[in-house]
Amino acid sequence: MAKSLLLISRQAPWSGPGAREALDIVLAGGAFDLPIGLLFLDDGVFQLAAGQHAKVVQQKDLAANLQALPMFGVDELFVCADSAAERGLAVDALALDDLKVLGAADIAALIDRYDQVITL
């Protein structure tokens, strides 16, 4: 059986190529049909903020890539409730469907469930 991978994405979308490169690992894993999960944590939750205007900060929009996740077979999508709350983001208004909202204890259990973890 294929080993599962959890990617914990912790960087804001406009802080450099980090968030995009983290997502690329997930999309590549999905393309290979691997069991893969994606958790948005800390500043990573900013990737999910609705109504971003990437062009204004001369950036490429990450939203289209995020929307591609289900098409790549990645449907284990999680967001940290505390990270969102600390940054004033309402978890019911995030820019990605089918996100599971997790508290701190759930996140510990989630990490435990995966064979390998990458934090970026």
Partner 1 sequence: MAAVLLTGSVMKFAIALFSAAHAPSSRRALLFAQSALAAGHEIVRLFFYQDGVYNAANSVVTPQDEQDLPQQWRAFVSEHQLDGVVCIAAALRRGVLNEEEAQRYQRSAASVEAPWALSGLGQLHDAIQDADRLICFGGA
Binding residues for partner 1 (CB under 8 A): 2-3, 5, 10-11, 17-18, 21, 24-25, 28-29, 32, 34, 116-120
Closest separation between CB of residue 4 and partner 1, Å? 10
Whichever of 3 and 53 has its CB closer to partner 1, that residue is 3
Q: Is residue 78 within 8 Å of residue 39, measured between CB atoms?
A: yes
Closest separation between CB of residue 92 and partner 1, Å? 26
Closest separation between CB of residue 28 and partner 1, Å? 4
Whichever of 5 and 38 has its CB closer to partner 1, that residue is 5
Structure tokens at 95: 């820019």
Whichever of 25 and 96 has its CB closer to partner 1, that residue is 25
Q: What is the DSSP letter of 115?
A: S
Closest separation between CB of residue 83 and partner 1, Å? 13
Whichever of 6 and 77 has its CB closer to partner 1, that residue is 6
- Give the C-alpha separation, 63 to 50, whole Å: 9
Most distant CA pair in the chain, distance: 45
With tokens 């939203």, the residue in question is 63
With vertex at residue 106, the alpha carbon angle to CA 45 and CA 42, rounded to the nearest 5 degrees, is 20
